[in-house]
Structure 1
């Protein structure tokens, strides 16, 4: 039966209750073809979870699958939930059912070493293909291998294209301070607009503040963007304007303090009355005369601070200093006045109103910090670099080398499995420190270098007196050239200021060029996502095809991949990914910074737990869309690659803003931007048409679930075992294969899954894993697995017809471990490689012996776990219990006896 026979083809966003109802209906129909009556309850579901961990987990899980095939257990699996490396082998299994084997019975026979023991037969060809491509990224090893050089060529090409967009946009921003400072001069020269603009800003600030204070606790509370554009930004623009006016009109300095005192006093009175600041309680109410007196005191303080700023500006002889520091000082003065005024008002202000003012003040100070950083970088960074070169002749080369080394170290630490993206937090201290601080060194160096480069270019063309300092670039870039530039630094700045019109056009031109290029350079195609996806498809989906016709030059066959919506057999695949919410609204998720995103044959999307009223009419309440039309058709290879995108600027709880900046600039991006399932206009698109906005969001870690496109990456960035979505579906029986890197046996991924299942579903997982812990003396575990209980709470049925009663489920947790009874070759490999079976996930280049050791270990563990209990299942079970009930009860009893 086809999955789609009984399912709606509607394009509307579906709720999870509808998704689950249809999944259960389809699975019920498909069970008739492969499950004997009495083997499992009609409403009981068996889920198999294959964890993340790269090729290590994929190869270990292959052995587990072979053991399950020995006992004919694969036919009973309803859901196959995979994450990252588990998705490699899970996709291989699904593709075999689609393109190779005709039934699950035939697949079990071909996969079982007992049924097909000869590795030279056709049944073993898919596994032998995996063995041959165990170095799936570069199958042909060696420095002069075409595969090795292809990695460098593809990364370099894509990085140059993406960097061209970023550098053009950043150059436009860094160039802007050189002409922004002329704004006040223009306003002064325009009698009408020079007066209207400041008063318009004052009106916006006053009215916005009054409305915000009045409605701070009501249902009509202004949204953040409304407060920013009606209060914060106009107020900061006023601060900038005030700083320049103080500097430009020092001749009439006695008028400025009076003007400031009057404006501040009047504005405060309007805000206080309009915002109903005076307490309504008789005990705390302020008499009007006190309110007026305190307001005049605050206005007088504003006048005194203005006078102080005038004295400071009188000593300043440079417009650049005023424009860099002036707005910051005005903001500081205004903050001090507001602080004193709030103190004077005391209880007349309600707590919520004080919080509102504090939040607006925080945003104002953020604007001031950004302003200072931008102006200092654009104006003073080149001078600082020139002065360092003058004072210490080896300073610039040494700093450059240090910057390059720290950047390379930061990239390595971000890529390394020990510093994130592998689903583990057992990180070494050195890599933690590098991953934390190296990105900041890189960002600082990049901005300084960009500013210095722009200044050198301007020195070549915007030179004082109309004569270039040097006729050639070589002379300009020599040490004599740097000395000349430093000597005439401020003359060059003045000359560039005189060419403000051209600088404005240059800034606009640079940004428009970045916009055009971002429309031509697809954000997904020119990341490393397609490079990664193509090699995964060649290895794992190519191995599943009998009639493969690969290109003789590249080794790729476009027909290896299949549409995810065309997968029509059990087990029903759930490919788990991570939807990054680094800038999400849910405060409780500030640690996880993500939510689960699934790709299945029927639906792609995520569960939206936030039921607050939507603020945008184009955002749907639910977030699941039909896979056949989602994202311009989702392929199994795409789902597999997204689920395994371990290295990405935004990585759920592993995300660091500075690291995100570093990884975006160097195009270390394996994740993908997909149409937002909530968005009515973009959910069926594969990528943004103009990607610069989303590239900048990735750069600064501003991903969320409200824009047209969402950023998805490795499922291990959210939950690395794959049991989260099975618990959401209330599977009674879950087999979890944990092949993650956990040499310390901290069981971090298991703990993470238990916490999330409890927090999000109310499901309590009780399991004792002490028997898996290695002994202090022997270093060996007492058992390879532990069996626990899942206590499902009482909830509403998916169709809303009744309550789904509380129930008990079983979790069989299998972990890569050694008990000492493994085959001799596996133990020998362990002696030579002490990290086995928890070698780093960063190692994606397996040798033949490494591949066979992990596969054989998985097969050995799978047989050890199920062999004894399957003997009991062969006996006729009682009428009141199914075969699956007997199996899992026996597994639990055996686990408790260890």
Structure 2
């Protein structure tokens, strides 16, 4: 399936960006991007506050691109949906505190906005939002996916394992000495290996393969004196690797009867309890707290435990298959499960029987509500990404304009098995959904209105971008863990057609599993065929590649990039920021320079930081069109700082881990949601106040004589705050070109609203 020709309609990243610039009328103008990071519901709450701050400063209209990841995509999609579908592109869709409102709006519109905010705030526990759609509904959906998946996978796995239990002449007792050395009680009529022909053959074949491999290694030493061609050497190295993998797999499956007999005898002699006691003691020792190396030992213990669990599953399958063979009952029971498995694999949709569908429905209900809040009717379920673009009335395949800010939703294309070393090492590549194009650098890009039979909705893209729980990504790339997660259908990822492999006929089937269910599940369980060359590709949470959402903005060489980061970072490692710095340097030749010291707490007891934002520079790689281009990066983060209201400080005193609570917590009550939203609002307002101070320094005081007048540099002017105090030194990075971008961003509107912002912030 990976040898199909590429789709002629797929284009490169440069073509995509050029089309965006044309429709956004960006030629010669400054490009400003806003990135909303991952972090689940906490990111949605915090970045809602950031959006409100930018709207209060009347600068949201200056944003060119909106790039979102995971939880940032929740609130970003809510903004895009409400602005386009509910407000017809007019105004800011959420309410502002009354003190920040300069231009009055009709009471009806204010009430509508307040209802929207109440709705989202009330869905902080969006996975179980109401009495009916409660935690039991969530558990039932999880169990449903498990049952359907197991009904497809288990019968086939059981059938294959049962082949090892086919009857064999009982005189073969090849492994009797081995068992006697284990002091096991042997049954005189069966021998150590149960009566299974393929079990003996498989294990014997595996031992033979291992012996052959040793011989090959020795022979390789004899012929190493010859200088073989590079192609021959590479072929030999790859062949040795595959042969070793096949040998180990054969030995493992061939050992199932031996393991079954060992475990059965241990149960009979009560040795199993002693063995389990040893295992528990070993795991306890490995996971003990150590100042150095404790994390490695704990990871090793978990890895061993998961590996043993997978092996025991196969041993149990063999045990029951062997028991049924002895009673001649397996033929009576295997046919119906196999028929059900085949039927489900042909009929069921792999994307809809996993937790993806349940997750999508809950996210859509929470963040893409109908115009009449609470109404059961809502077309957000079918609202396509391509509806954010305006087409020519006569030529529907020609774009006229696109909604601004241009929304990019980031996901991760799984490239675990890619032949490209960089993509294979990373395990993923950034894959975008946007109004004009969908795709990645690895798969090329396809027009959104022609991609996957035009079925991709904003809700689906938002859900894929937040599909954090999924096999073969990040920490779940460990084989046994990925196997168990896929087996139990604990997965939020999405299978879709490859943009560079798509054809119009195949696209009609891309939303359905037919006929590749078992292929999909096999790839996820066995970590095989997960790359950019397959007809169908696997997508998951964009944060598994880059969690800030700024990657695509830097690809587009934005003059100003604003990042709202709400990922959990209790140890102040700034790992997501470091990941962005590394990836854009490698991929785009862009160097980010930023100092994180101001965000370290001044007092560990109070956790108060000097500022909630950082200012850095982005030195872009030179091109023919642009030389020595330097952009600005404004990085807003969840941290405590002076000027926070009592409601936030009270919540922090009651919950000491705030604002670094785990992103695993996806059940926010109203106080928790409001604490993060207000934190984001205050952080954004603080940034705007300092920006205004940078652009509008106080007039120099009059002095009796020039001798008394101190020398003032451009840097010191930038540091002078509007309240007479020193503004933050980060703004000294602003050069002449950057200052012009910031002036365009702030415009005259920010100055007219500054007094209201200061009153609210200091009130």
TM-score (norm 1): 0.67
Say if 2:54 and 2:684, in contact at 8 Å, map to a contact too: yes
Q: 1:31-52 deviations in whole A, cap 9, x for unaligned? A: xxxxxxxxxx833210000000
Displacement of 1:180 in angstroms is 11
Residue 63 of structure 1: CA displacement?
0.5
Select the residue among 771, 775, 780 that pairs with 2:602. Answer: 775
Q: Distance in 1 between matches of 2:120 and 2:95?
A: 18
1:549·1:557 contact (CA, 8 Å) conserved in 2? Answer: no
Is contact 1:439-1:661 (8 Å) kept?
A: no
Aligned residue among 298, 308, 312 for 1:441? 308
> 1:280 maps to which residue?
none
> 1:623, 1:677 within 8 Å by CA — same for their partners in 2?
yes
Question: 1:35 corresponds to which residue?
Answer: none
SS at match of 1:689: coil
Which position in structure 2 is the counterpart of 1:738? 565
Contact 1:541 1:561 survives alignment (8 Å): no
Residues in 1 aligned to 2:14 and 2:444: alpha-carbon distance in whole angstroms: 12
Deviation at 1:516, TM superposition (A): 3.0
* Contiguous gaps of at least 5 residues in structure 1: 1-9, 30-40, 183-243, 248-314, 407-412, 414-425, 463-495, 497-501, 609-621, 796-801, 891-898
Residue 829 of structure 1 and its aligned partner are, at CA, apart by 0.9
Change (3 A) 1:774 1:875: closer
Between the aligned partners of 1:823 and 1:90, the Cα distance in structure 2 is 25
Q: Deviations over 1:475-514 (max 9, x none)?
A: xxxxxxxxxxxxxxxxxxxxx9xxxxx69xx989866653
Partner residue in 2 for 1:385: 263
What's 1:757 paired with? 584
1:54 aligns with 2:51: no
State the match for 2:661 in structure 1: 839
**Residue aligned with 2:426, SS:** coil
Shift of 1:172: 2.1
Match of 1:20 in 2: 17
Q: Could you say if the C-alpha distance between residues 653 and 581 of structure 1 is closer, same or farther in structure 2, counting changes exceeding 3 Å?
A: farther
Q: Is the 8 A contact 1:48 1:736 kept in 2?
A: yes
How many residue pairs were aligned? 649
Q: Give SS of 2:24's match.
A: helix
Contact map agreement 2:163 2:198 (CA 8 A) in 1: no
Q: 1:530 to 1:850 in 2, by over 3 A?
A: same
In 2, distance between residues paired with 1:372 and 1:173?
15
1:364-396 C-alpha deviation (Å, 9 max, x unpaired): 22212111211222x334323321221118759
- The equivalent residue for 1:360 is 239
Change (3 A) 1:550 1:439: farther
Task: Please give the per-residue CA displacement for 1:80-136, whole angstroms capped at 9, x wherever unaligned.
Answer: 000000000000100111122244445487688612799983332211111111111
Would the alpha carbon gap of residues 99 and 332 (structure 1) be closer, same or farther in structure 2, given more than 3 Å must change?
closer
Taking a change above 3 Å as real, the CA distance of residues 107 and 357 of structure 1, as seen in their structure-2 partners, is closer
Match of 2:51 in 1: 65
Is 1:162 the equivalent of 2:149?
yes
Deviations 1:686-713, CA, capped at 9 Å, x for gaps: 2432311111111122211111211111
Q: Tell me the residue number matched to 1:784.
A: 612
* Distance in 1 (alpha carbons) for counterparts of 2:737 and 2:203: 80
Does structure 1 conserve the Cα–Cα contact (< 8 Å) formed by 2:68 and 2:549?
yes
SS of the aligned residue for 1:348 comes to coil
Aligned to 1:601: 435
More helix by share: 1
Q: Aligned residue for 1:625? A: 446
Q: Does 1:175 align with 2:42?
A: no
Query: Quick check: 2:200–2:254 contact (8 Å CA) kept in 1?
Result: no
Distance 1:26 1:814, change over 3 A: same
**SS in structure 2 opposite 1:522?**
coil
- C-alpha spacing 1:151/1:665, structure 2 compared with 1 (3 Å): same
2:380 equivalent to 1:546? no
Does residue 329 of structure 1 match 2:319? no
Indicate if the aligned counterparts of 1:66 and 1:113 stay in contact, CA closer than 8 A.
Answer: no
- Distance, in Å, in 1 between the alignment partners of 2:572 and 2:86 is 38
DSSP 3-state at the match of 1:605: strand
Aligned partners of 1:171 and 1:874: how far apart in 2? 74
**Partner of residue 688 from structure 1, selected from 508, 513, 519:** 513
SS at the partner of 2:130?
coil
CA separation of 1:606 and 1:879: change in aligned 2, threshold 3 A: closer
| Matching residue of 1:649 | 471
Distance 1:325 1:699, change over 3 A: closer
Aligned match of 1:638? 460
Out of 491, 495, 516, which is 2:343 matched to?
Answer: 516
Q: 1:461 aligns with which of 320, 323, 328?
A: 328
Cα deviation digits, residues 438-472 of structure 1 (max 9, x gap): 4223212211121112122223326xxxxxxxxxx
What do you get for the CA RMSD once the two structures are aligned?
Answer: 3.6
Distance 1:335 1:880 in 2: 65
Q: Which residue of the partner structure matches residue 743 of structure 2?
A: 886
Preserved contact between residue 199 and residue 254 of structure 2 (Cα < 8 Å): no
Counterparts of residues 206-245 of structure 1 (less than 5 Å): none
CA distance in 2, matches of 1:151, 1:431: 31
Residues 75 and 461 (structure 1 numbering): CA distance in 2 closer, same or farther, change over 3 Å?
A: same
The CA deviation string for residues 245-294 of structure 1, in whole angstroms up to 9 with x for no partner, is: xx9xxxxxxxxxxxxxxxxxxxxxxxxxxxxxxxxxxxxxxxxxxxxxxx
Alpha-carbon distance in 1 for matches of 2:208, 2:378: 64
Gaps of 5+ in 2: 1-6, 175-191, 288-292, 390-402, 699-733, 748-763
Is the counterpart of residue 131 in structure 1 residue 10 in structure 2? no
How many angstroms does 1:805 deviate by? 3.3
Partner Cα distance (1:168, 1:651) in 2: 27
C-alpha contact 2:562 2:635 (8 A) present in aligned 1: yes
Q: Does 1:699 align with 2:521?
A: no
Equivalent residues in 2 for 1:68-467 (5 A)? Answer: 68-105=54-91, 107=93, 114-115=100-101, 121-140=111-130, 146-179=133-166, 322-350=200-228, 352=230, 353-377=232-256, 379-392=257-270, 395=273, 432=299, 435-461=302-328
1:821 paired residue among 639, 643, 655? 643
**What is the CA–CA distance in structure 2 between the aligned matches of 1:808 and 1:644, rounded to whole Å?**
32
CA contact (8 A) 1:181 1:323 kept: no
Does structure 1 conserve the Cα–Cα contact (< 8 Å) formed by 2:364 and 2:380? Answer: no
Q: Specify which of 528, 532, 536 is matched with residue 359 of structure 2.
A: 532
CA change 1:508–1:759 in 2 (3 A) is farther
Describe the SS at the equivalent of 2:364.
helix
Q: Is the contact between residue 11 and residue 626 of structure 1 (CA under 8 Å) also seen in structure 2?
A: no
User: Which residue, 678, 683, 692 being the options, matches 1:870?
Assistant: 692
What SS is found at the alignment partner of 1:135? coil
Instruction: Give me the whole-angstrom Cα distance separating, in 2, the residues matched to 1:634 and 1:113.
Output: 40
User: Which residue pairs with 1:201 in the alignment?
Assistant: none
CA 1:561–1:822 in 2, change beyond 3 Å: closer, same or farther?
A: farther
- Structure 1's 561 and 60: CA in aligned 2 closer, same or farther, altered over 3 A? farther
Report if the CA contact (8 A) 1:61-1:86 is conserved: yes
Q: Which residue of 2 aligns with 1:193?
A: none
2:98, 2:459 → 1: CA distance?
A: 25
Which sits farther off after the overlay, 684-693 or 561-570?
A: 684-693
Q: Deviations over 1:516-573 (max 9, x none)?
A: 321112110000001001000001001xx3225644xxxx845455211101421100
Q: Give the structure 2 partner of residue 265 of structure 1.
A: none
